[in-house]
Structure 1
Amino acid sequence: MSNYKFILSGGGTGGHIYPAIAIANELKQRYPDAEFLFVGAQDRMEMEKVPQAGYQIEGLWISGIQRKLTLQNLAFPFKLISSIWKAKEIVKSFQPDVVIGTGGYASGPLLKAASSAGVPCVVQEQNSFPGITNKWLAKHVKNIFVAYDNLERFFPADKIVKTGNPVRQDLLNVSDKKQEALKFFNLSETRKTLFVMGGSLGARRINQLVEKEINFFKENNVQLIWQCGKLYFDEYKKYESEFVKVNAFINDMKLAYAAADVIISRAGAISVSELAIVGKPTIFIPSPNVSEDHQTKNALAVVNEQAAVLLKESELDEKFETEFLSLWNSEEKRKALGSSFKKLALPNATKDIVDTIEKLIKKSA
């Protein structure tokens, strides 16, 4: 039987959405007749990104709890009840064979409703420090797919399967796309290229750094692909020039990675996993504004293997130029970092996750 039914739920950020899409694509390849339904949070980016990837999505009226007392918090119990009710309805009418959660608010009510109805559920945790939803769901699911070691502190050890994070498979061969990439971004083949990215929404502190260092980059013959994020594009598009390419969002990430000689990035879990597969020298500037400082922990897991450079936001003004030039001007250092980083890659994550899901379906059939 190949007309299985799968519900996938994850969202809020690209870090939750893209793994869900990658898992769906692998399942679809194996079971072309299968039916798929995504469940996300109304008004979040998954409502746009999932249909773009060719899948149907339903939205729940759910959001997180703010840390301070707000009107949104007063609405939270109503949103939760409404979401659990709708999630039960979705599970009942769609009748999935398995439900897959990749984190984010919507996956909580959905996986709780599915597991209560006896549907086998799994979750995929991207970070070295799990999110609140996945910690809460741990007791309700069959397997927990992780990308880092030592997560027994948070999850039952017998449910953990270390697979790595699902990433776009087109990243496996970026090394032979450099010329195509430079042409795509309209950049020179005789200069080295820096790619700066701050996540799907952009990163204020990284954008401020780039703005401050524009002349420094010019003096050092750096050409720049700058993904500043949708929120900041209007503010920074004035810097677009022959050697600075300003983008709100880059749809074809493989070309940005292929063009780059050095990359500056946040240390979100999916970015770290993608960058390991790409194997380019990277300077991580973790966001200090995420729960339990997990981006710093993600970056340290790489830095401790001598595979990347870590700069805290608080030390950018004093250290950035020196650290950047020591990497930019040393081909030996760039090669060493890139190849050490590539050794940490787990490129078969999606396949390994779907192998385990297949076993689960067959067992419960």
Structure 2
Amino acid sequence: MGNYRFILSGGGTGGHIYPAIAIANELKRRYADAEFLFVGAKNKMEMEKVPQAGYQIEGLWISGLQRKLTLKNVMFPIKLISSLLRARKIVKQFQPNVAIGTGGFASGPLLKMAAGAKIPYVLQEQNSFAGITNKLLASKAERICVAYDNMGQFFPKEKVLKTGNPVRSDLIDIIVDKNEALAFFDLESNKHTVLILGGSLGARRINQLVEKELNFFDDQGIQVLWQCGKLYYDEYKKYESKNVKVKAFLNKMDFAYTAADTIISRAGAGSVSELCLVGKPTVFIPSPNVAEDHQTKNAEALVKEDAAILIREKDLETDFESVFTELISSAGMQKNLGVNIKKLALPNATSAIVDEIEKLLK
């Protein structure tokens, strides 16, 4: 079998990093002696998260193009050339058998240089609307693993395989008792529980909404498990009470999902894939500030299947209370949304992606 070497690149956000780590973990499970190297963007979160997961990482001096003329854009060509040269050196020294890209700017230079060195690569696209880096890299990819239907509009159709997005293994079969989960967060078992998720850093607009609606939740007899994010915890921890639990971060997501009756969340690709597995009625409030408005498109793909509710940030003031009241007062609607979102789950994504990578090992 030999000692295989895998190089993985993707980052900028958790949505690109966690799938790459999940893929590496599955490869390591199958090939215990394999060597791994991650390549990310300097000063981005992968430089911290990847070593925490036990892998080595090299950083490239790269960042994305801004939409308006800024100093960063003037620097872009210099950063790109620097990153291409560095990536070429990394590929030459490490000599991987296969390269894997999960999106984000750093994967561009790395996979371009891998292709130049005749190293096969696989792309993984998390979103329903393909990212610019993956679109640029698609022509030389051996295989493109996607999570949504109709991705042939962005990529060569014959290379596309719908595998789903890698998710944390502890969420694939959640075996937590609901009363145990509620007790863990010091919540009551006879109240409707809403779980609020704004991503690991938190979402300002969702936090503002929850703060404004705390009386509304209270009037409806709802208890709130609120992950406000570490950036906002100091601002919102004052609302902690019997019915409102404020957390900077939720470490036991399996407990949080089990405790929840309904969920309010951003619509990043990783969150959407997790929530499909969880199978609970969900209201998505997409971030309008992400590239190509990915999150809105991810949420719309679920709404089309009657598997979730979407409220845009600009409509929160007018629509939130009426939409949420309708949801919690209709057991039928909750059941319907829960069943339909669960149908879209692809729990074997990581394994399916690694199967494709295995085919390229020579």
Structure 1 position 115 matched with structure 2 position 115: yes
> Which residue number corresponds to residue 141 of structure 2?
141
Cα distance in 1 for residues equivalent to 2:340 and 2:58: 42
Worse overlay, 313-322 or 348-357:
313-322
**How far does the alpha carbon of each residue in 1:308-338 deviate from its partner, in whole angstroms, 9 at most, with x for none?**
1111112211221121122223323212211
Structure 1 position 233 matched with structure 2 position 233: yes
Secondary structure of the structure 2 residue equivalent to 1:72: helix
Cα distance in 2 for residues equivalent to 1:46 and 1:162: 26
Secondary structure of the structure 2 residue equivalent to 1:174: coil
Instruction: Tell me how far 1:83 sits from its aligned partner.
Output: 1.1
Structure 1 position 274 matched with structure 2 position 274: yes
Cα distance in 2 for residues equivalent to 1:99 and 1:236: 43
Cα distance in 2 for residues equivalent to 1:50 and 1:181: 29
Cα distance in 2 for residues equivalent to 1:258 and 1:48: 29
Letter in 2 for 1:59: G
Cα distance in 1 for residues equivalent to 2:39 and 2:190: 47
Worse overlay, 248-257 or 38-47:
248-257
> Which residue number corresponds to residue 286 of structure 2?
286
Worse overlay, 179-188 or 96-105:
179-188
Structure 1 residue runs of 4+, over 3 Å off?
A: none
Letter in 1 for 2:149: D
**How far does the alpha carbon of each residue in 1:37-87 deviate from its partner, in whole angstroms, 9 at most, with x for none?**
111111111111111212111111111111122222222222111111111
Matches within 5 A, 1:90-239: 90-174=90-174, 176-239=176-239
> Which residue number corresponds to residue 42 of structure 1?
42
> Which residue number corresponds to residue 72 of structure 1?
72
Q: Is the contact between residue 13 and residue 200 of structure 1 (CA under 8 Å) also seen in structure 2?
A: no
Secondary structure of the structure 2 residue equivalent to 1:17: helix
**How far does the alpha carbon of each residue in 1:272-306 deviate from its partner, in whole angstroms, 9 at most, with x for none?**
11100110110111122223322222112111111
Q: What is the TM-score of this pair, normalised by structure 2? A: 0.96
Q: Structure 1: where are the runs of 5+ without partners?
A: none
Instruction: Tell me how far 1:176 sits from its aligned partner.
Output: 3.1
Instruction: Tell me how far 1:259 sits from its aligned partner.
Output: 1.5
Letter in 2 for 1:74: V
**How far does the alpha carbon of each residue in 1:238-296 deviate from its partner, in whole angstroms, 9 at most, with x for none?**
21222222222223322221221100011111111110011011011112222332222
Letter in 2 for 1:27: L
Instruction: Tell me how far 1:356 sits from its aligned partner.
Output: 0.9
Instruction: Tell me how far 1:227 sits from its aligned partner.
Output: 1.5
Cα distance in 1 for residues equivalent to 2:140 and 2:249: 36
Q: Is the contact between residue 61 and residue 79 of structure 1 (CA under 8 Å) also seen in structure 2?
A: yes
> Which residue number corresponds to residue 352 of structure 2?
352
Cα distance in 1 for residues equivalent to 2:355 and 2:2: 15
> Which residue number corresponds to residue 55 of structure 1?
55
Instruction: Tell me how far 1:2 sits from its aligned partner.
Output: 4.8
Q: What is the TM-score of this pair, normalised by structure 1? A: 0.95
Cα distance in 2 for residues equivalent to 1:292 and 1:70: 19
Letter in 1 for 2:108: G
Q: Is the contact between residue 2 and residue 32 of structure 1 (CA under 8 Å) also seen in structure 2?
A: no
Q: Is the contact between residue 176 and residue 254 of structure 2 (CA under 8 Å) also seen in structure 1?
A: no
Letter in 2 for 1:150: N
Structure 1 position 301 matched with structure 2 position 311: no
Instruction: Tell me how far 1:359 sits from its aligned partner.
Output: 0.9
Letter in 2 for 1:202: G
The change in CA–CA distance for 1:2 and 1:243 in structure 2 (over 3 A counts) is farther
> Which residue number corresponds to residue 316 of structure 2?
316
Cα distance in 1 for residues equivalent to 2:180 and 2:41: 37
C-alpha root-mean-square deviation of aligned residues, in Å? Answer: 1.5
Instruction: Tell me how far 1:192 sits from its aligned partner.
Output: 2.3
Letter in 2 for 1:56: Q
Cα distance in 1 for residues equivalent to 2:52 and 2:181: 23
Cα distance in 2 for residues equivalent to 1:318 and 1:325: 13
**How far does the alpha carbon of each residue in 1:115-170 deviate from its partner, in whole angstroms, 9 at most, with x for none?**
11111111100111111100111112111111111121211111111111111121
Cα distance in 1 for residues equivalent to 2:167 and 2:205: 26
Identity among equivalent positions (%) equals 68
Cα distance in 2 for residues equivalent to 1:177 and 1:134: 41
The count of aligned residue pairs is: 362
Q: Structure 2: where are the runs of 5+ without partners?
A: none
